[in-house]
Amino acid sequence: MEITYASSSSRNLVDSAETTTTTTTTTKTNNRPVKVIRLQQPYFASSTDSSISSSLFSVTMISKWREKVKRMSFVEWIEVFLPCLRWIRTYKWREYLQIDLMAGITVGIMLVPQAMSYAKLAGLHPIYGLYSGFVPIFLYALFGSSRQLAIGPVALVSLLVSNVLGSIADSSDKLYTELAILLALMVGILECVMGLLRLGWLIRFISHAVISGFTTSSAIIIALSQAKYFLGYDITRSSKIVPLVKSIVAGADKFLWPPFVTGSIILAILLVMKHLGKTRKYLRFLRAAGPLTAVVLGTVFVKMFHPSSISLVGEIPQGLPKFSIPKEFQHVTSLIPTALLITGVAILESVGIAKALAAKNGYELDSNQELFGLGVANICGSFFSAYPSTGSFSRSAVNHESGAKTGLSGIVMGIIMTCALLFLTPLFREIPQCALAAIVVSAVMGLVDYDEAIFLWRVNKKDFLLWTITAITTLFFGIEIGVIVGVGFSLAFVIHESANPHVAVLGRLPGTTVYRNIQQYPEAYTYNGIVIVRIDAPIYFANISFIKDRLREFEVTIDGTTKRGPEVERIYFVILEMAPVTYVDSSAVQALKDLHQEYKLRDIQIAISNPNREVLLTLAKAGLMELIGKEWYFVRIHDAVQVCLQYVANAKGSAETVKHSFDRKPSLSQKFQAQLGDTTSSPELAPGDHDSLTSRDIESAEDRRDERHPSFLRRLWKQHAQDEASSQSEPLLSREV
């Protein structure tokens, strides 16, 4: 089945086009050459053919998969499960070894005090932070695909653990610790399942504005939760800002100066070192050395002055963790929401950082393999008393800045942590709690992303509103509510944009055959009696009503545009540019049928331009090809406009009158050429290069006569209309086409 457009001056033009086998044909009717371009229709298979085609497609896919499997060597199969072999096989020992060793030592020294600090934030004993930075690091180095990501305890996950477990058990109870370990197992299983099922794409529905607002508020909550170590008295454990502030104010009479001064000085030193490490390349080692410096300074101060008002870390067990299976499985149901939330945060933070680092270092990253690696690290970590771990932004940045080339730097981090557990834990006993709190506060201050809020306000007010809603909700109603509300609004915005797509009226740019949005290009002009509409979205059940309403609006009036062509009182054609339409569902097909019937009652014809193969096949299966008419499907907008202009030019006369007028009387083109004094024959018209005769005549006249004779065309059309109005009969558009 072949689709063409046809000139209104010759009904047999369609037939002649359908019988040809070439891509284009040129037909001359009454000395009016028209070049016809075929619109190729995809093969319209029957139900039997469709089932056979589907079977063949399945067989082809299976055969391709088998061929791919056969081509994979044994080493490539091992690399699928152990991505570390990819960098081990190509490791350049002379170039990379020293760099990886230095990077691993630097980040490992940074990790030890941070791990203890984040464990305190999670409500756990500091030793569990060290455990979480031990086994997971080695496992991720084997199964993870990023070569620079540094995993372990992080502030945001620690806050989530503290928030959910605080409502179930007291932090001093053994149950609290068991639940934290069980949570690591659940998070690991979820990450492995998502990685194996390749479900990482689900996180794309969470807007960056939501993540930024959430992390900003979480950073404020984390900083306030550490205030008790600076102030010297206990405050309420909460993930909401109001209870925290009330508790801080209520206990102001218990304020102690020694921990406040000590913690503030250590925090100031950390911030200065962090700033110098970021701004001066030759001092970048200061950024990594900051946490270790804080611990050393705090310990020296306690050793020298022995202040009784400063609380210390206390005894830390020495040695590696023992293998044990997580317990308390009866609490799994209550932990599922938090496990899902931690998994989402881990994916967003880890995969986002890993992708950025992979792009900077010139290698590809498999997001699903990354999820699987994180999952294995958490599952195995839970058997060695670790709570949930994920990629750290600050440590990964330091690892990258230190020049880490492969996962060997991660293995070195694990070795540093092993040495700390075996030999250094007695030295950690007299670390002041305010020093660990200062490490946490300095780390989370970088998460307060007010620059992002300013950027969103300047660029996109909707995203700024989303950022504000998420941040405020998280601050005042808690982390879980904040995430739910933020994701809910994010999805609501997506649905709103999808249900209210951009629909533009197109006009022709002067001197070209290009049609563009008249709002974007005010110089573009439209044609009387014709509306050209571009739908910039898939058409489906959620947006079809909006699209129909917009089409009705455009039919009534299009303000602010220059119009050309014959002066008519109403719309005769609606041309739908469907190049941006990637998908059409059954609801949209039915709506198009209804729209066609509605237009038919008002003598308006739909024309469709440039649908893609899938859309065209859907319309053909639904019967819209025959309903609208095969001749009203076009390759380009310009082709459709040429044909529609010819119909509009003759709309006031009957079909028979038009037919005989070309045989008996001078045509409009002949009158036009006579008045211009043009004795040359009309050149052949190609739709890609020129208008049809009618539109070409109009535009040539406008180009030549507009400035000197503004009413030239109007007189010409009026004279032609008077000649054609001798007999009135059925309008041209009412005949069957």
Segments in 569-612 forming alpha helices (H): 586-601
Angle at 81 between CA 75 and CA 83, to 5 degrees: 75
Over 50: is that where the pLDDT of 681 sits? no
Q: Which two tokens stand for residue 558?
A: 């299009």
The pLDDT confidence band at residue 558, using thresholds 50, 70 and 90, is low
- More confident site: 39 or 628: 628
Distance (Å, rounded) from C-alpha 251 to C-alpha 258?
Answer: 16
- More confident site: 702 or 328: 328
- More confident site: 213 or 726: 213
For residues 264-302, one letter each, b for 16 or more C-beta atoms within 10 angstroms of the residue's C-beta and e for the rest, the string is ebbbebbeebbebbeeeeeebbbbbbbbbbbbebbbebb
C-alpha dihedral (632, 634, 638, 640), degrees to nearest 10: 0
**String of DSSP letters for 226-245:** THHHHHSS-----SSHHHHH
* Range with the poorest average pLDDT among 184-188, 223-227, 477-481, 564-568: 564-568
Residue 566 CB burial class (10 angstroms; 0-12, 13-18, ≥19): buried
Over 70: is that where the pLDDT of 693 sits? no
- Packing angle of the helix pair 285-305, 433-444 (nearest 10 deg): 160
Over 50: is that where the pLDDT of 221 sits? yes
The pLDDT confidence band at residue 386, using thresholds 50, 70 and 90, is very high
CB 561 within 8 A of CB 506: no
The pLDDT confidence band at residue 570, using thresholds 50, 70 and 90, is confident
Mean pLDDT of the chain: 78
pLDDT of 137: 94
pTM: 0.71
> For 252-268, what is each residue's pLDDT tens digit?
898 999 999 999 999 99
Q: Which two tokens stand for residue 722?
A: 């008077």
Average pLDDT of span 632-656: 77
pLDDT of 51: 52
Q: Which two tokens stand for residue 696?
A: 């070409």
Q: Which two tokens stand for residue 405?
A: 């080339």
> For 397-448, what is each residue's pLDDT tens digit?
888 888 888 889 999 999 999 999 999 888 888 899 999 999 999 888 888 8
Cβ neighbors of 584 (< 8 A, separation 6 or more) are 538, 539, 540, 615, 618, 619
Distance (Å, rounded) from C-alpha 315 to C-alpha 421?
Answer: 13
Cβ neighbors of 451 (< 8 A, separation 6 or more) are none
